Amino acid sequence: MKSLFPNVIIGGAPKCGTSSLYFWLSAHPEVFGSPKKETFFFADKVNRFNKEANIHEHPALRYLEFFNGGESATVRFEATAHYLYEDQARKAFSQADVPPKIIFLFREPSKQMYSHYKMERYRTKKVDLPLSEYIHLPKIAKYVDYATHLEKWIKVMPHGHVGVWLFEDFMSRKEEVMKEIATFVGVDPDFYKNFDFEHRNESVSIKSGALHQLGLKIQPLIPHALQKRLLPLYMKINSGGRAPDDQGHAIILSDFKKNWSHVGTSIKSLFAELPLEKWR
């Protein structure tokens, strides 16, 4: 019997397309995606996402339970975006008997930050700060300093095991990029020819936070095909529409983009083929 340990991990900064990639890759007949998209099992700290299963309080075998049913799949994976920043995850995957391939998705820093801001203000409602104050939170610098974290992964993972794609390229060339990713992980890329792509996890405003939290809890129990049919109904009931862009934020975003422009240069030095011109 094949080991249930995943052989692919998806990570990256928040709001960089990991949800879409999770659902699109899970649709492939050779692939098994953990029903719980983000396990956070190897997070550095116990948090509200992993309190029922984490490396600090549970045996490593508990992690394998996320992949029950995927024994015959060519690819078994999960998509915890925050693994990019987690020392425990880097240690666990680099020291595995068979290290998995790691896929990281990145987005132009000002776009990533603003999308995350809108999510936290309008959907999760965890933030009630003006953008001018939000950009100075310590976590913001951590999230957008992609290259610093990426270099740590490249140093410990086997050569060729870390793949990087840009959100902007991903969303503008969905079929082509999914074929590239399929080839990278070792499954048939032709599956994505004329594939029915849909965008997931947009920054929308939420009417009921309690209903949204309930939805997140039961989501892993619902097959992906059924989720696809139910999502439009849920969005109609509990969505207040796409979170708006504030034209008054233009100067803040422009300055933020200039201040973090070096991130693209640093990533380009690590992955020269990346189309960083799409960040301009």
Residue 59 is predicted with a pLDDT of 95
Instruction: Grade residue 223 by pLDDT with cuts at 50, 70 and 90.
Output: low
- Does the pLDDT at position 7 exceed 60? yes
Task: Return the closest-CA partner of residue 116 out of 18, 50, 239, 218.
Answer: 18
Q: How far apart are CA 99 and CA 159, in angstroms?
A: 11
Name which of 33-37, 100-104, 182-186, 243-247 the model is least confident about. Answer: 243-247
Q: How far apart are CA 112 and CA 17, in angstroms?
A: 10
Task: Return the closest-CA partner of residue 224 out of 106, 105, 69, 83.
Answer: 69
**Distance between the two ends of the chain, CA-based, in angstroms?**
48
Q: Which domains does the chain have, with CATH numbers?
A: 8-109+145-197+263-279 (3.40.50.300)
- Does the pLDDT at position 182 exceed 80? yes
Residue pLDDT, tens place only, 110-129: 999 999 999 999 888 889 99
Q: How far apart are CA 193 and CA 179, in angstroms?
A: 8
The tokens describing 24, both together, are 């699109």
Instruction: Grade residue 90 by pLDDT with cuts at 50, 70 and 90.
Output: very high
